[in-house]
Each structure stands twice: as C-alpha cells, then as structure tokens.
Structure 1
Amino acid sequence: MNTLTLHNEKYRTEKLIPSKWDELFLDQALRILRLQKYPECFSVRFLMLKVLLNLRLLKKGFKSDLFFALLLKNHSQKDNFKLLAFTDWIFEEEKSCTKLLLTKVKKPLKKVRVCKDFDKTQFWQWVHADTNFLAYAQTGDEIAIDKMMACFYLKDTFNAETIEEESTFFKNLLPEKKELFLMWYIGNRQVLAQTYDAVFGGEKEETKRRDFGWAGVLDDLSTDVTKMEQVGELNIHNVLFSMNKRIIRDREAQAEAERNNKQKS
C-alpha cells in the first residue's frame, strides 16, 4: 500500500491506496480492468484513481467526503497529474496476482462452478491448464482461456475428458473476469517457477516439455503408465518438489562424475 496525503491551509488527510493488484478488492479490480478497455487518457486514469480510493459511483455522482472534496476542489490540474502517478502500476505490460480471484462463476438456473485455492491443485489438473496456457501464449486464442478455466472451476471433481465440454460454460463470461483469472494463473505460475527453478529452468527439462509435454518431465518419477496416473493425482507441490529434488540430485551426481573423470585424466 502507498499513503496518499492531501492538505491545504485548513485540512490535511491521508488515505492508503493500493500499489499492486493483490491489494485490491475484487470489485475494484474488475472495474479497473473494464476501464482499461478505454484509451489511456487523463479522464480514464482519474476514474481509476477514484476506484483505487474506493470512491463509489452513486446515482447522483461520486460519494462526497472530506477527502474527495480536497481531491477535486483544492488541487490544481498540475497537482492532479502528480496524483495520477499512483496508477502507473496498473499499466504495466505483464499483470499478475496470486490471491485476487473470482471464486465462483454463476449462470442462470443456479449453475455454479467453484475454483479452489491454487495450492490444492492436482498435478494433472495443472498440466492440462498449463498446456492450454502455453497454447494461448502462442496463438492468442481465447478458447484456450475457457479450457484453462474448465480445469479450475469444477462442478465436482476434475475430469480431463470433459474439459472441452465444460469450457463452453465460460464462453460468454465478461472479458475482465477472464483477464483476472489469467492474471491469477500467471502470478501463481511465476511462484511455481521461482520455487521449483530446477524443473522450470533446466535446459534438459525444457527440451522434454517442448518435445513430450509435462509427461516427458514426469516420466522420471514413474515406472509405468499406471504409476504416472497415480502421481498425476497428487498435489502439484508434492510432485514438483520431488521433480526439483531429483533434478538437483542428478545434476550434482553428473558434476561429481565429471570432476572424477578430470582427475583420472
């Protein structure tokens, strides 16, 4: 959070203002993402600032309080431009969050799909989502986002065979809600990459992912197809931790073998 201070000869007021996406309330984030569809100009940025300050739009105009009065009446245009610097982070090219999430998607006739905490994800569930994420990154096809959402927003339990069918549930979802989901996924994927850097950063593992998908990375932990399915049902952190540990151990063993060979020669 940043602290915004406004004052004149009579009044002084301070207000906390969010400085990243995870510090926003859900409705604030959705309103800002909706505003981003408009050209970046003074008036749109000013609206975003009002959203950050949680000044809600009422039928007769914006909510009137001492802070808002100071903001509008006692500051020059030049000062207001300085205030808009508090919105700069909104326009960063790569947006991400880890906690901010639309937990439920509802449709008429009480149809509901619920998304659980990312850390409770099964490995195969994440593999299918990540495959579609990489497809979206390459093609920009938004159907891939619908399929990603079908992997997380579940009617009951995850079933890879119903992803195509379930993805239609999200076809007409508001763009800002899809974008928020994508930001949430990107943020949590970044956490995985930082935590299990050997899995995500190794050249050998990258080659396996490119040639065989995540199954190519998983095969080292599985003796047969049946075992691979069992491993795939485990929590994502359990699987990635084991992968990471094994890769590091193999690298250390290889480095030790190379040192021994040099000593012998």
Structure 2
Amino acid sequence: MYGSSIGSLYVNLTSTNGSQTLFSQNDNTGDSWFVTSISIPASNGEIQFIGVRGNSYRGDIAIDDVQFLDGVCSTAIPITTPSPNTLPLNCTFEDTTACFLKDVVGSDDFDWTIRSSSTPTSGTGPTSAAEGTKYAYIETSGKQLGSKAILEGSVSVPVADSPICLTFDYHMYGASTGTLEVSFDDMIYFYESGDKGNQWNKAKLILHKCPGNSDVSKITFIGTRGSSYKGDIAIDNVQLTDGLCEKPFQNGVTKNAG
C-alpha cells in the first residue's frame, strides 16, 4: 500500500451470521511488501478482499501469495470488536483516524472524499472547509444517477429515549445537486435535496434513541448523486453531545464558501 493518496484494504468474512471485518488498513505503508496472518473463526462463509480507492490515482494497493491453512496462525492478528463511541463525539475531518464516522464497505456505490481545497469541478462544491482546513464531500463526476456514498458511526447510548444533540455544517451547491440524508437508529432526522447556494449551512437536530434497541445506536450520513456531475455535497464539523440542543433548527447559513 504505497502512495500519497492510499485508500483502504479490508478482509471480510461473510456468513449466515452477518459480515465481520477481519483486517483493515488505510495507511501508506511504504514501498515494501508486508506479511499478515489472520485466524479465521470457524464458519461456512465467504472471504472477501475489498480495495477502496483513495482521493487520487496515487494509491495502488496489491496482494499476493494468499494461503489458507488448518489451525491457528502462530503470529495471527487478534480479531477484536471495536468499542462503541461514547458521547461527546466530534468529527472535523482534520484527522480521519480520530473521526467516529467511517465509510461503509460493500453496501454503497462509492466513498466520501476528504479534501482541503475547492472540489475539482467548477460550479459545484465548496472552496474551503466550514471550519479548519478539511471537509468530507461526495465527488459526483463519473457516477450514475442515484449512486450513494455512506458514512456511518456507532454511538453508545445506554438510556432509551434520552435526547442527543447533533450539529453539522453542510454544503449543497450545483445545478444538479442530489440529496443528503441523516438517520439515527434507522429513523430519518434530516433530508435535503437540490441546490442550497454556494455557502455552508448549519443543521442542529435533536435525536432520540428508540426504546427497545440495543445500547449501541448507529448514525448514518447518505449522499446521493443527482442528474449530473454538477452536484457535489459536503459536510464538516459533525458533533454529537448529550442532552437537548440550544435553540435547535435545521437550516441556517454559517459561512459563505465563495
């Protein structure tokens, strides 16, 4: 995995019990080959190697010499279930490793891209972040109408129906802008479509954990491509905190992006 714009490599186990990520790597590991061993849980399933493109052509990923052997690997990477994130949570996209939102693998059509300058296409997208230097956006050039990119994160909320405040900045500019949807526990709390002007807008929403669900909830951001490439959608400065929002609202201009 060598290059300045490396994406991600995943090894997943898919069985009747669902899908489990056995290995993931999203760093530039240099111009060298590395040996990895993984102990696979006993099951009737399918092993998938998934390579995800980064934000430019400088990010080739390669594999070789794949072997399946009986028994436990002597130097196996332990398989652990990541702990759910606890409130408060903040994602400014300045450091992607610290962001609680991650690209979904396998169930969407393309990925969100982290950027620190104007998007490549004129007449769409922001020219800079809402705050800081970086933001996440969907690059709609070369994609099909209705193609989706999904970011999601797990959140530990042990108390049912306890309020959570979600705030984020969003930018939807272009003649063919599609939709941005935010759901929590599979309930849609935010849905916007079309051109909202060349500016960052702020959303401030009160979320509620559904009674009867597990202690771990899921928040999802879905960007959907419109009818042409002039429809980039961006988000920035996503925050989740306990309790009610102060003066909640859905829309409000935060910063002119021109």
TM-score with structure 2 setting the length: 0.29
* Structure number with bigger Rg: 1
Give the number of the structure with larger relative contact order, counting CA–CA contacts within 8 Å between residues 6 or more apart. 2
Say which structure is richer in strand.
2
Say which structure is richer in helix.
1
